[in-house]
Structure 1
Amino acid sequence: MYHKDQIRILLVDDEPNILQFLEMGLRNEGFQIMTAEEGVSAVNAAQEFQPHVVILDVMMPGMDGFEVCKLLKRMGQMAVIMLTAKEEVDERVRGLTAGADDYMIKPFSFDELIARIHARIRNQFPQLLSELRIGPFQIDDSRREIRYQDRVLSLSATEYELLKYLVSHHNRVLSKAIILENVWGYDFGGQENIVEVYIRSLREKLEDREHNVIRTIRGSGYRVDIS
């Protein structure tokens, strides 16, 4: 876990409406934000701002996102998530070959973008991880330990990752597909019902018999409510 106000995100898109939407949403999440509307400005902004994560449009006038990505990757450790309306496999391969760490197709889910940002930070900036208290939960990544109401939970490695993911995205409905992607990984070949099995186990360990801690949102997924 980490403090979001430590995370710098550079947004690069030549569509003002998308840029404004992303800037407002990510600022509300607590991240530090800088924006750029074309490639050269993006490179200059990255040199000044030193972002942890870059959300990068592909199709822009002048220098396109592929070239920008190559230049950004030469600067140092930056996680690049490419956004594009092009969904062809060749385009995705080109983006990943240019150095992108992730690739999303427009239109996209804002919640999914947040989840991918968290994944990049966990994977590429482990030094930002710290102990964090969220409501009745206390998560200590260094000890791989979660306390609930000051009681240490006995969790398997997967249960730990799942509960950490649910709690860190509290008050959001998370679908089984999103949970699978972010807890089990992109290459997981199993079925979605594995999520139900692990949710049931977590509820037992939380003594959540009434499902008031981990709520089932029928037809949508699961949500941990923390005020």
Structure 2
Amino acid sequence: MKILVVDDDPNILELVNIHLSQAGYAVMKAGNGIEALKLLDEDLPDLAVVDVMMPGMDGYELTKRLRDEADIPVLLLTAKGELEDKEKGFLAGSDDYVVKPFEPKELLFRINAILRRYDKAVDIHIRVGPLQINRQSYEVSIGKKVLLLPLKEFELLSVLASKPNHVFERDLLIERVWGFDYEGDEQTLNVHIKRLRDKLEGLPESIKISTVRGVGYKLEVTS
């Protein structure tokens, strides 16, 4: 998943870059609207995070261009919270906004919510070694063997498999599977991870769910 981040403040640009990278996203950075549009010639991101107050081309104008030229979802970063500014952003074609200063976790929550609405949170077909996941039919298979998984276990495995050998933070896994407004505790995640491990036990040893103490989990794939 590629995310284009556009902000003329290098500190904000780097802050967003760090948190998105840690969450498993590939980040394309631009310091202004012109740079952002040039990057579209090289690669097409799945979503753009755009600052409103930029010299030259502001975030509203860039949002219109991104929607017209690339048709990608846009989340606006704004220092203003007035209704008029929100309305202007939505009229320009933005999908959501975050008011500065913001909590990085809130930014991640909103990005993932947008991607879910566009059904881009994970690929429809995921292949990890001998493991195949079909997000449309909700089937998990290894060769001719089909695993029957409850919905939350399926979604959890899908997220882990979307980026093999990448460590997903516990909070991020909970948000992606149960939603950012989930009010339960982390024990629910622990239980689902244990159940998945039990079901993956009989599979080739090249695939296993590993714990990274104090951080989260990863789907470890070895050749």
- TM-score, normalised to structure 1's length? 0.65
Q: Does 1:159 align with 2:153?
A: yes
For residues 165 and 30 of structure 1, do their structure 2 counterparts lie closer, same or farther at Cα, with a shift above 3 Å needed? closer
Alpha-carbon shift at residue 208 of structure 1 (Å) = 6.9
Partners of 2:183 and 2:168 lie apart in 1 by: 19
Partners of 1:63 and 1:80 lie apart in 2 by: 15
Q: Which runs of 5+ in 1 are unaligned?
A: none
For residues 136 and 83 of structure 1, do their structure 2 counterparts lie closer, same or farther at Cα, with a shift above 3 Å needed? farther
For residues 51 and 205 of structure 1, do their structure 2 counterparts lie closer, same or farther at Cα, with a shift above 3 Å needed? closer
Tell whether the 8 Å contact from 1:166 to 1:224 is kept in structure 2 after alignment.
yes
Superposed counterparts of 1:10-159, under 5 Å: 10-15=4-9, 18=13, 22=17, 36-39=30-33, 41=34, 52-66=46-60, 68-69=62-63, 72-73=66-67, 77-83=71-77, 90=81, 98=90, 99-101=94-96, 103=98, 108=104, 120-125=114-119, 129-148=123-142, 151-159=145-153
The structure 2 residue matched to 1:221, chosen from 199, 216, 219, is: 216
Amino acid at match of 1:222: Y
Tell whether the 8 Å contact from 2:52 to 2:59 is kept in structure 1 after alignment.
yes
The structure 2 residue matched to 1:198, chosen from 192, 195, 208, is: 192
Tell whether the 8 Å contact from 2:96 to 2:110 is kept in structure 1 after alignment.
no
Partner of 1:173: 167
Partners of 1:68 and 1:144 lie apart in 2 by: 38
For residues 13 and 213 of structure 1, do their structure 2 counterparts lie closer, same or farther at Cα, with a shift above 3 Å needed? same
Partners of 2:46 and 2:213 lie apart in 1 by: 36
**Secondary structure of 1:213's aligned partner:** strand
Amino acid at match of 1:221: G
Alpha-carbon shift at residue 147 of structure 1 (Å) = 1.9
For residues 116 and 153 of structure 1, do their structure 2 counterparts lie closer, same or farther at Cα, with a shift above 3 Å needed? farther
Partners of 2:47 and 2:193 lie apart in 1 by: 31
For residues 47 and 123 of structure 1, do their structure 2 counterparts lie closer, same or farther at Cα, with a shift above 3 Å needed? same
Q: Deviations over 1:123-157 (max 9, x none)?
A: 3156x944231123211122211124653111011
Partners of 2:164 and 2:175 lie apart in 1 by: 17
Partners of 2:50 and 2:180 lie apart in 1 by: 21
Partners of 2:66 and 2:190 lie apart in 1 by: 40
Q: Deviations over 1:44-68 (max 9, x none)?
A: 5599777542132344224443554
- TM-score, normalised to structure 2's length? 0.66
Partners of 1:100 and 1:137 lie apart in 2 by: 34
